[in-house]
Chains A and B, each alone.
Chain A
Amino acid sequence: MSRETVLDAIRRGLRRGPLPADQRAMLQSRLDAHPRHLIPARSRLDRPGQVALFLRNLEKEFATFSRVADAAAVPAAIAEYLAQQNLPSDIAIAPHPELQALPWAERPMLRLREGRAKASDAVSVQHAFAAIAETGTLMLPSAPERPTTLNLLPDTAIAVLRASRLVGALEEAWTLLRDELGGMPRNVMLVTGPSRSADIEQTLELGAHGPRRLHVVLIDDTP
């Protein structure tokens, strides 16, 4: 192993030995404090302003959305979206308690299968941990109740997001994550719109390897 070789070479370049304890402690306190840098003014808005900015950014990034007044309306919104897009009603869904609590029985046409995504799944429903207004981004940390493959394999990815989980900037989403999850999950995906590529003649085409469609169902749970 070249660990010491690499570290020695770095210290030689920096013209010093290993850092003394007091300097290490100072650097460790910077890590612990993880100070924020400049946060752009564009997301410094009141709640309705942030919601509007988020939805504007979603559309700019080729995602779509439906807004519902409460959680009970989510199954209907999903059924309606799938019908509009002429998509199958078989859904791979995250085994998340908030999603399990929704009144799916009212929509017997939707056939749900809980778990990770399979290659053959056409539609997924994921639980959004948080979202970022500044860029129209969903934060999707992995967990047993939030499998990563749901974000990737199906052609159509649907995310259910409560408006109260919307923050202005990425830094604020990190704060939610640190406070609520305690440590870093295995995988944290920040998703901004559906998959795309511009590798052919630098011209944008949607639907590269990930979902061709990204649809957000936003629950207006804030005043």
Chain B
Amino acid sequence: MHVATSPEFKQNAKRAIADPQLQKALARSGPSFIARRAAAVAALPEFEALREIGKQIKNHTLAHLDFYLETYAAKVEAAGGHVHWCADAAEARAVVLDICQKAGARTVTKGKSMISEEIAINDHLEKHGIQPVETDLGEYIIQLRHELPSHIIAPAFHLNREEWEEQFRKSHTDLPADRVFHERRDILTEARAKLRERFLAADVGITGANFLIAETGSSVIVTNEGNGDLTQTLPRVHIALASIEKMVPTLDDAAALLRLLARSATGQDMSVYTTFSTGARRPGDLDGPEEYHVVLLDNGRSAMLGTEFQDMLRCIRCAACMNHCPVYGAVGGHAYGWVYPGPMGSVLTPSLIGVEQSGHLPNASTFCGKCESVCPMKIPLPGMMRHWRERAFERHLMPTAQRSNLALWGFVARRPGLYRLATRAAALTLGLMGRKRGRFARLPFAGGWTAGRDLPAPEGDTFFARYARAQRQGTLGKGNQA
């Protein structure tokens, strides 16, 4: 498993904010995702109704997940495929390695898969002498740079064109070092040529799955590049990595969810390639894999059922939440420190690797609510982050100073008389102290707050006092006359 740096979120975030290359990339890419989604949603009047339908489909599926998984597995097997049930990442890694070794694989091509990041399969294969090759353009450069993706659908979200060119010069040493990349297309063309060789040479292809269909035993991938399709069509063996919550009952259920997915993700009505794979090559087929395997991964998801985090399992990984998140927009994906960034990551990461390992992630939120409002599956993300905060508090995972301050505040806030006395004293003192400048650039015990902005000085009165005075004078609701 990738070692999570999530507990260092604060330091990660500080570094991210001070990184000019990253800030340049974030400033460019963020707004374009937002605008494209907004245009696609505006063009489909039924979008809101479809969100509710999508939510109902997933809720129904999760409530009967055992039935649908069993039905799905039987269908896969009837189509000549194999289903490997895996309780955790270690088991999934062992299964994938075993399939690759039995196939005598030397190189493995890979379509984009977050599950593959979650179980860190690349490191495992490399350790055993098998070369994994990421073929999604963004994943490809991430692999060359030995990084984690910084976004779940745009892995190289944090990179600028200069970094692409530099990395390609460094990695593709067989090409003339002084070649010129006139435009982005030249970068793409070089990657295409490089990866074409890999596609044709690979022994095994590993993809993820956006959906699993119980009705037919199909795994579904959704891509724009076509790399996933080449990955699952050309090699002799296809392995689909999927977590259990990817299940949907029927092709018609998938049709409804597909209307939400691409619009929420990239602002497309439909991605370029939406492909349903069902079993191995059939008699008479001229192409397609001879073996078809599904690695069905739980890895902590079943433990979310029946808890306040069950709704998170509706997630279809569109990334709308991170695209609209002011925190993600400020620090990018790597600061979150593990596989899943943004609001969905802040909820999912503690569920999958433990709240102890996820540190400040549930606090990486302004609670503006934008993530929930754009989530196609209506997942109450801010509410769940609050649940995680409560759990972290209950389990004494907060720093002592923060805990004791919260406890002190709680003590005072529960005693109205004391609360008014304390706030009156504070407003009076701070009002006197800040009379000259009207603001504080620095305050004892509030360095965390004043480091980033000034605190306006109170005018010497509390809200309660003003409110009471206005009520007495009958000027309430008549503008700022008190």
- Cα distance, A184 to B276, chains bound together (Å): 9
Query: Which of B138, B200, B251, B278 contacts A199, CB < 8 Å?
Result: B138
Contact A148 B252 (CB under 8 A): no
Contact B155 A31 (CB under 8 A): no
Known: A147-B285, A197-B224. A2 touches B85 (CB 8 A): yes
Contact B225 A142 (CB under 8 A): no
Contact A200 B229 (CB under 8 A): no
Contacts of A136 in B (CB 8 A): 269-270
Q: Chain A residue with minimal CB distance to B279?
A: A186
Query: Which of A38, A142, A189 contacts B50, CB < 8 Å?
Result: A38
Q: Nearest Cβ in chain B — how far from A215, in angstroms?
A: 15
Q: Chain B residue with minimal CB distance to A119?
A: B200
Contact B86 A13 (CB under 8 A): no
Segment of A14-22, A67-75, A100-108 engaged in the interface with chain B:
A14-22
A161-186 residues with Cβ-Cβ distance < 8 A to B are 169-171, 174, 183-186
- Cα distance, A19 to B70, chains bound together (Å): 12
Query: Which of A30, A61, A207 contacts B192, CB < 8 Å?
Result: A207
Complex interface bits, B199-220 against A, C-beta within 8 A gives 1, otherwise 0: 1100000000000001111100
Contact A209 B135 (CB under 8 A): yes
Main secondary structure of the interface of A (DSSP, over half): loop
Q: Nearest Cβ in chain A — how far from B323, in angstroms?
A: 10
Query: Which of B141, B200, B272 contacts A195, CB < 8 Å?
Result: B272
The reply to whether the CB of B470 lies closer than 8 angstroms to some CB of chain A is no
- Cα distance, A128 to B45, chains bound together (Å): 30
A1-36 residues with Cβ-Cβ distance < 8 A to B are 1-3, 5-7, 9-15, 18-19, 23-24, 27-28, 30-31, 34-36
- Cα distance, A135 to B244, chains bound together (Å): 29
- Cα distance, A153 to B196, chains bound together (Å): 9
The reply to whether the CB of B84 lies closer than 8 angstroms to some CB of chain A is yes
Q: Chain A residue with minimal CB distance to B222?
A: A190
Contact B278 A209 (CB under 8 A): no
The reply to whether the CB of A79 lies closer than 8 angstroms to some CB of chain B is no
Q: Nearest Cβ in chain B — how far from A7, in angstroms?
A: 5
Contact B44 A40 (CB under 8 A): yes
Q: Nearest Cβ in chain A — how far from B25, in angstroms?
A: 8
Query: Which of A119, A171, A189 contacts B273, CB < 8 Å?
Result: A189
The reply to whether the CB of B478 lies closer than 8 angstroms to some CB of chain A is no
Contact A149 B233 (CB under 8 A): yes
Contact A208 B137 (CB under 8 A): yes
The reply to whether the CB of A191 lies closer than 8 angstroms to some CB of chain B is yes
Contacts of A142 in B (CB 8 A): 282, 285, 287-288
The reply to whether the CB of B465 lies closer than 8 angstroms to some CB of chain A is no
Known: A1-B84, A193-B272, A195-B225. A15 touches B306 (CB 8 A): yes
Known: A15-B306, A144-B286. A191 touches B33 (CB 8 A): no
- Cα distance, A19 to B49, chains bound together (Å): 30
Q: Nearest Cβ in chain A — how far from B206, in angstroms?
A: 16
Contacts of B383 in A (CB 8 A): none
The reply to whether the CB of B79 lies closer than 8 angstroms to some CB of chain A is yes
Contact B226 A208 (CB under 8 A): yes
Q: Nearest Cβ in chain A — how far from B176, in angstroms?
A: 21
Contact A144 B285 (CB under 8 A): yes
- Cα distance, A33 to B196, chains bound together (Å): 42
How many A-B residue contacts, CB cutoff 8 Å?
272
Contact A195 B226 (CB under 8 A): yes
Contact B250 A31 (CB under 8 A): yes
Q: Nearest Cβ in chain A — how far from B196, in angstroms?
A: 7
Complex interface bits, A62-88 against B, C-beta within 8 A gives 1, otherwise 0: 000000000000000000000000000
The reply to whether the CB of B382 lies closer than 8 angstroms to some CB of chain A is no
Query: Which of B224, B233, B269 contacts A198, CB < 8 Å?
Result: B224
The reply to whether the CB of B230 lies closer than 8 angstroms to some CB of chain A is yes
The reply to whether the CB of B450 lies closer than 8 angstroms to some CB of chain A is no
Contact A57 B286 (CB under 8 A): no
Interface centre among A23, A142, A143 (most CB of B within 10 A): A142
The reply to whether the CB of A126 lies closer than 8 angstroms to some CB of chain B is no
Interface centre among A28, A40, A171 (most CB of B within 10 A): A40
Contact A186 B280 (CB under 8 A): yes
Segment of B255-263, B434-442, B451-459 engaged in the interface with chain A:
B255-263
Contact B224 A196 (CB under 8 A): yes
B42-92 residues with Cβ-Cβ distance < 8 A to A are 44-46, 49-50, 53, 57, 63-71, 73, 79, 84-87, 91
Q: Chain A residue with minimal CB distance to B75?
A: A184
The reply to whether the CB of A192 lies closer than 8 angstroms to some CB of chain B is yes
Known: A148-B233, A189-B229, A200-B156. A143 touches B66 (CB 8 A): no
Contacts of B271 in A (CB 8 A): 192
Contacts of A42 in B (CB 8 A): 44
Query: Which of B87, B217, B233 contacts A184, CB < 8 Å?
Result: B217
The reply to whether the CB of B116 lies closer than 8 angstroms to some CB of chain A is no
- Cα distance, A190 to B49, chains bound together (Å): 24
Q: Chain A residue with minimal CB distance to B33?
A: A202
Q: Nearest Cβ in chain B — how far from A37, in angstroms?
A: 4
The reply to whether the CB of A188 lies closer than 8 angstroms to some CB of chain B is yes
The reply to whether the CB of A201 lies closer than 8 angstroms to some CB of chain B is yes
Interface centre among B141, B196, B199, B233 (most CB of A within 10 A): B233
Q: Nearest Cβ in chain B — how far from A138, in angstroms?
A: 11
Q: Nearest Cβ in chain B — how far from A9, in angstroms?
A: 4
The reply to whether the CB of A50 lies closer than 8 angstroms to some CB of chain B is no
The reply to whether the CB of B164 lies closer than 8 angstroms to some CB of chain A is yes
Query: Which of A19, A23, A30, A40 contacts B249, CB < 8 Å?
Result: A30
Contact B28 A202 (CB under 8 A): yes
Contact B184 A200 (CB under 8 A): yes
Additional pairs, 18, CB under 8 Å, beyond known A37-B252, A152-B229: A5-B87, A7-B70, A11-B66, A14-B305, A15-B306, A27-B71, A115-B286, A136-B270, A142-B282, A143-B284, A149-B286, A153-B230, A174-B252, A196-B225, A196-B272, A198-B224, A208-B192, A208-B226
What are some 25 contacts across the A-B interface (CB < 8 A)? A2-B87, A5-B87, A6-B298, A7-B66, A10-B69, A13-B304, A18-B66, A27-B249, A40-B44, A40-B50, A142-B285, A142-B288, A144-B282, A144-B285, A149-B287, A183-B216, A184-B79, A186-B281, A186-B285, A187-B277, A189-B274, A190-B275, A199-B137, A201-B160, A209-B195
